Structure 1
Amino acid sequence: MAASMLKLVLSLATAGALALLGSSPAAAGPPRPSEPVGVDVSWPQCGKALPDKPAFAIVGVNNGLANTTNPCLADQLAWAANSTGTTSQPAAALYVNTANPGTAGSWWPTSNTYMDVVVENPYGDCASGDFRACSYMYGYAKAYDDANLRGVDNPGGQFWWLDVETGNSWQTDKAANVADLEGMAAYFTSINAEVGIYSTGSQWGQVAGAVPSESELAGLPSWLAGARSLKGAKSNCSLAGLTPGSRVSVTQFISGGLDHDYACP
């Protein structure tokens, strides 16, 4: 009886210690938010462990520049396909880098034709040298490349976010930058894909500024960066969208060194 009691006491003590310590260090991880959140990843996360089954996932198509391909896009798309889809957002979506390098870029359009398609250009004829018309064509071409040359299946069935950040090349002519982004949105819309805009209010103001209500960008959903916690991300849902008629539908925050995303109600 005494030996049995000693074994029982030791067993209870061991169980209590394990309860206090939690699981083994290898299984430990950053605390999970108390409600479903998404995660966005791209080339910086290549080869790194990613959270299992996020509520939704947004994968970067490019390798940091608008004319490149994320080297682990296929792997990250396969990971995103396992998202639970428990929010109002698509279980898996895409984002693309945007830029307007002008004639300093490695390629610049000289006409309204791209890949044998004559594009209806609201800014006129790029062949005449009109910079805004050519900016529109540049954006259209980059969107075409993202949809057709990067390895994305069923591009017309995807949600594409335009990632607008000051770190990429832009013109001082904000109207030309708007034309560039309109060209991208126009292409994605032409294949029946959904489009939104990712940025912060400050960066958007520096790149594009005020957008006319008749713009192709007006009313597109906004994905706002800048929050430092889930609480802050929730609060940012009440901010104004980036363009006229836009609603903030996703907000981003950083947790455990990884970008997390909150689907606004």
Structure 2
Amino acid sequence: MRTVSGITGLFLASLLLICGSPAYAAPSPGEGVQSLLGNDISWPQCNTAFPTGQAFAIVGVNNGLANTTNPCLAEQLRWAEDSAGHPGRPTVSLYVNTANPGAAGSWWPEEDEYPAGREVHNPYGPCEDGDFGKACAYMYGFAKAYDDAHHRGVSNPGSYFWWLDVETENSWSGTDKEANRAVLEGMTDFFHSIGAQVGIYSTGRQWDQIVGPVSSSSNLYVLPSWLAGSRSASGAALACADAPLTGGGTVALTQFVSRGFDYNHSCP
């Protein structure tokens, strides 16, 4: 996700202390119809001003890595619940960091159980010690999604729409796109198992670099896309006509950045 720079965040925080402004004071996007736009925030906005006037909100659950927790998630969820509402979007959605760290990770699965004692049906199984291919990558994704739902402080996780944030700044295999895809499939299967809806956030370039084309047999094929990379509200509206990240999906949201905040346009 695009984030507010440290300098901007410090400036906003200082301004609030000096002026005594409301805790959630924030600039408007400067273009477009703000009442129809959403905002997304996460750990970089901790201890800074939040946007105001958003129609819908998307909150990051992690602290930049797939195995971490946003330290101000509870506060940001309270902010999100005050969103005005949009006829085509959930008032509050969540997004999670994704990765395929393989041997470089602090934890990697060695079996088809997560948590201990819960056997997971693995379409690429069995996952075994020393396997960094699709089978254990699937289990890694399943496990990270389980943790996001049950260990990050999210109440009633099945009621949310969960976006998978797929970006090159996280750890991915540079040689095995199928394993990268399997991580996301494992996450999707877990979220679907609790009744949640799932979508994919990325740019076309990053998606092609990390995952590439997805076949119709993958559970990713029909997921909606949230496309990053627009430079203005008008550009975000036009980006609704861009190709989705997967062949069976549709473009649901497009993102642009204005005055240090992420804004999101809901596509028809």
On whether the aligned pair clears a TM of 0.5, the verdict is: yes
Q: What is the identity, as a one-letter code, of the residue corresponding to 2:146?
A: Y
Matched with 1:126 is: 127
Residue in 2 that maps onto 1:250: 253
User: Could you tell me whether the CA contact under 8 Å between 1:56 and 1:87 is conserved in 2?
Assistant: no
Compared with structure 1, are the counterparts of its residues 134 and 231 closer, same or farther at alpha carbon in structure 2 (3 Å cutoff)?
same
Q: Please, which runs of 5 or more residues in structure 1 have no aligned partner?
A: 1-23
CA distance in 1, matches of 2:196, 2:57: 17
Matching residue of 1:237: 240
Give how far 1:47 is off. Answer: 1.2
Q: Secondary structure at 1:127's aligned position in 2?
A: coil
Give the number of equivalent residue pairs: 241
> Among the aligned pairs, what percent are the same residue?
60
Do the aligned partners of 1:43 and 1:64 also contact (CA within 8 Å) in 2?
yes
1:211 aligns with 2:214: yes
119-128 or 91-100, which moves further after superposition? Answer: 119-128
Name 2:179's counterpart in structure 1. 176
- Whose Rg is larger? 1
Aligned equivalent of 1:259, options 245, 257, 262:
262
Partner in structure 1 of residue 8 of structure 2: none
* Cα RMSD for the two superposed structures: 1.6
* Alpha-carbon separation, structure 1, partners of 2:27 and 2:82: 20
Name the structure 1 match of 2:10.
none
- Larger relative contact order (C-alpha < 8 A, sep ≥ 6)? 2
What is the one-letter code of the residue matched to 2:219? E
* Deviation (angstroms), 1:232: 0.6
- AA matched with 1:92: V
1:108 and 2:111 are equivalent in the alignment: no
Residues 55 and 87 of structure 1 are in contact (CA less than 8 Å); yes or no, is this contact kept in structure 2?
no
* Closer/same/farther in 2, CA of residues 227 and 122 from structure 1, 3 Å limit: same
Structure 1 SS opposite 2:141? helix
Are the equivalent residues in 1 in contact too, given 2:143–2:187 (CA < 8 A)? yes
Give how far 1:124 is off: 1.6
1:226 aligns with 2:254: no
The superposition leaves residues 54-73 of structure 1 with CA deviations (integer Å, 9 ceiling, x where unpaired) of 10000000000000000000
1:71: which partner in 2?
A: 71
Inter-partner Cα distance in structure 2 for 1:128 and 1:183: 18
CA distance 1:121–1:197, change in 2 (3 Å): same
TM-score by length of 2: 0.87
**Residue ranges of structure 2 left out of the alignment (5+ in a row):** 1-18
The TM-score with structure 1 as length reference comes to 0.88
- Give SS of 1:196's match: strand
